[in-house]
Each structure stands twice: as C-alpha cells, then as structure tokens.
Amino acid sequence: MRNFANNHDQVCKWIIMFKDQLNDIDQDDRSSLKKDKVAMNVINKMKKDGEVPKADLSSDKDIKDLAAKLKCLPLTEKNLRMFNNASENRIPSNDRQFSCKDCDKMWWRRVPQRKEVSKCRNCRKKYDPVPYDKMWGIAEFHCHSCDRLFKGFAQMGLSCPCYMCGSPVLPIHILPPRRTRGQRTRNPHSCFGENCYNRREPYIPGLECVHPRSRAKHNYPKVLYPSMLHVSTGSTVATCLSQGSLTQCDLDDLILDDIRESDEDESDSNDS
C-alpha cells in the first residue's frame, strides 16, 4: 500500500494483473498485503471464482429436453431455413414501434419476425407492436400533384398538406429513427390539425396534430395508440446456436439491439 499511496483501486488492479506472481514478492510486501483487508478480499474472491466448477452443458436437463423435441420436428423447408438462420446468426427481423400507455412512452425496437414483442423499460411489461395502420412519427410522403417527396410528422391514415402545393397527402409509411437523417428541412411543421402549433387554415375540427410540440403545448399524452399487452404462448426458439453452444431461449427475450431505442423526447429535439 505504501508503494501506491494507499490507493486501493490501483492496488486491486495490480493484484489482478500480477496475481500469478504473488509468490515471488518480498516478505515485507507480502505481510503488508495480508494486513490490507481490501486487497485480501480481492484475492480471496478470485480464488473462490477459480474454484467454481464449470457447468457441464451435456448433462443439463433443459438442453436434453430440447434435444428430444428437436428429433420430433419434421424436415420441412421452413424448419430447415430456421435452423440455417440460427446457425449463422441470421434471424429475420423488423423494425417495429411499441408504446406503453401507463408510462406514456414510445420506442422502436428491431425484433424477430417470428415473434414481435418488446418490453417497456419502465414497467417491464411486454407489448405487441403498434399496428402498421396506427403508427406515428416521422413519415414519408409522395405528393402526386407536384410529384414531390417530403417528410414530416404524421400518423398513418391522416393526411398532411404538401409544403409546395398545399394538397393533402397521405403518408406512405413511418420511418424508424436513425442517428443521421441527412439535412434538415427549413419548412416548419404545419397541418390541418385543430391543435397544431402551426395550424394550417382552414383547419379540420376534431383532427389532432401528432407533432410532439403540439401535444406538449396542450398537455396531451405522447402515446397516440397504445400497444396491446403481449400474451405469451410459451413458444421457444427451437435451436439457437451461439459460439457452438446449444441453448434454449424464450423468443420474448430474444430482442435484437442493433438499433438504439428512441422515444419521442429524442425525436422532438432532432426534428422540427
């Protein structure tokens, strides 16, 4: 401890790096080390961790039961494709939107096509994705009047005016969040919604604007359409091969984290 000026963090790092050479240290340093409780706790914990036997996967009951079920699967094209995708870590996936009404939170997640489900980080409840015809967020539009493509906040099934000609245009689809969306448009959001912060006249009574700024202005909830609670069927991935090991995985927990979750708070700070 004298050599490290009583810096316990440095001492612990030194023990971890040179634990195999502790037998070669001087008697004074060894006695000083034994008097230090923090250092000895680290050494004892490392010894206990080294004595823990590794689990024998070949005798695992769950794996044996899973292997017995695999023998009963028919050799079909669908099952063969599933085995090949799992063995090569290629799981077909979709980017889906989820929402939690209780927590008033919306997020995106890349989920397996076979079972699209995600868990709210606040309440830990599992949800099905928002239906495609109810999704909202940054939408892509194609105006057939002036043949122009543009983006803006919208919900599927609700029209927005074209920035050029003013014609009402229905969204093609809702875009998942991306870290870089390219150059931002100079055109501010404007729609026919009655509560739009930049309302277009003549507005449509009863039509709600989905832009986060408009909803925050009127203290409306962020969630426009809540996801349905997921009802688990108990199905599992028949085979999930990772680094040569055979494991049984609940599909509800097999969520791909290739894209970062993004809620409406982040979208509001990045988009007009």
Tens digits of residue pLDDT in 113-163: 878 899 999 999 999 999 999 999 989 999 988 888 888 888 998 888 888
Q: Are residues 195 and 240 in the same domain?
A: no
Asked whether residue 225 carries a pLDDT value surpassing 90, the answer given is yes
What mean pLDDT comes out for the span 189-198?
A: 84
Q: Is position 191 within any domain?
A: yes
Q: Are residues 120 and 136 in the same domain?
A: no
User: Residue 236: its pLDDT value, please?
Assistant: 46
Q: Are residues 170 and 209 in the same domain?
A: yes
Element spanning 8, H or E = helix 8-17
User: Residue 187: its pLDDT value, please?
Assistant: 74
The residue that leads in pLDDT, 226 or 68, is: 226
User: Residue 189: its pLDDT value, please?
Assistant: 83
Distances from the Cα of 48 to the Cαs of 24, 41, 73, 90, 228, in angstroms? 21, 11, 43, 38, 46
User: Residue 7: its pLDDT value, please?
Assistant: 67
Q: Is position 17 within any domain?
A: yes
Measure the CA–CA gap between 149 and 163, rounded to whole angstroms: 10
User: Residue 244: its pLDDT value, please?
Assistant: 31
pTM comes to: 0.55
What mean pLDDT comes out for the span 236-252?
A: 35
Phi, psi dihedral angles at 242 (to 5 degrees): -140, 115
Retrieve residue 121's tokens.
């980080």
Q: Are residues 157 and 175 in the same domain?
A: yes
Q: Are residues 159 and 105 in the same domain?
A: no
Measure the CA–CA gap between 104 and 216, rounded to whole angstroms: 12
User: Residue 184: its pLDDT value, please?
Assistant: 62
Residue with tokens 């074209």: 162
Q: Is position 207 within any domain?
A: yes
What mean pLDDT comes out for the span 245-260?
A: 34
User: Residue 261: its pLDDT value, please?
Assistant: 40
Which residues touch 139 (CB under 8 Å, ≥6 apart)? 151, 152, 153, 154, 155, 156, 160, 171, 172, 173, 174, 175
Q: Are residues 145 and 20 in the same domain?
A: no
Q: Are residues 114 and 245 in the same domain?
A: yes
Q: Which range, 192-206, 207-221, 232-246, is most confident?
A: 207-221
Residue with tokens 């699209």: 116
User: Residue 147: its pLDDT value, please?
Assistant: 87
Q: Is position 222 within any domain?
A: no
Q: Is position 150 within any domain?
A: yes
Retrieve residue 105's tokens.
């939170």
Give the length of the chain.
272
Residue 23 belongs to what domain range? 8-51
What mean pLDDT comes out for the span 179-204?
A: 76
Q: Are residues 41 and 175 in the same domain?
A: no
The torsion angle over the Cα atoms of residues 240, 243, 245 and 247, rounded to 10 degrees, is -30
The torsion angle over the Cα atoms of residues 170, 175, 177 and 183, rounded to 10 degrees, is -70
User: With contact defined as beta carbons under 8 Å apart, do 251 and 115 qualify?
Assistant: yes
Q: Are residues 137 and 101 in the same domain?
A: no
What mean pLDDT comes out for the span 181-208?
A: 78
User: Residue 250: its pLDDT value, please?
Assistant: 38
Q: Are residues 143 and 197 in the same domain?
A: yes
Q: Is position 43 within any domain?
A: yes
What mean pLDDT comes out for the span 87-95?
A: 75
Distances from the Cα of 153 to the Cαs of 19, 26, 189, 227, in angstroms? 58, 70, 7, 20
The percentage of residues in the chain with a pLDDT greater than 70, rounded to a whole number, is 57
Count the domains in the chain. 3
Q: Is position 172 within any domain?
A: yes
What mean pLDDT comes out for the span 7-35?
A: 62
Q: Are residues 104 and 140 in the same domain?
A: no
What mean pLDDT comes out for the span 21-38?
A: 64
Structure confidence at residue 4 as a pLDDT band (50, 70, 90) = low
The residue that leads in pLDDT, 255 or 35, is: 35
Mean predicted lDDT score pLDDT of the chain: 73
Q: Is position 271 within any domain?
A: no
User: With contact defined as beta carbons under 8 Å apart, do 39 and 12 qualify?
Assistant: yes
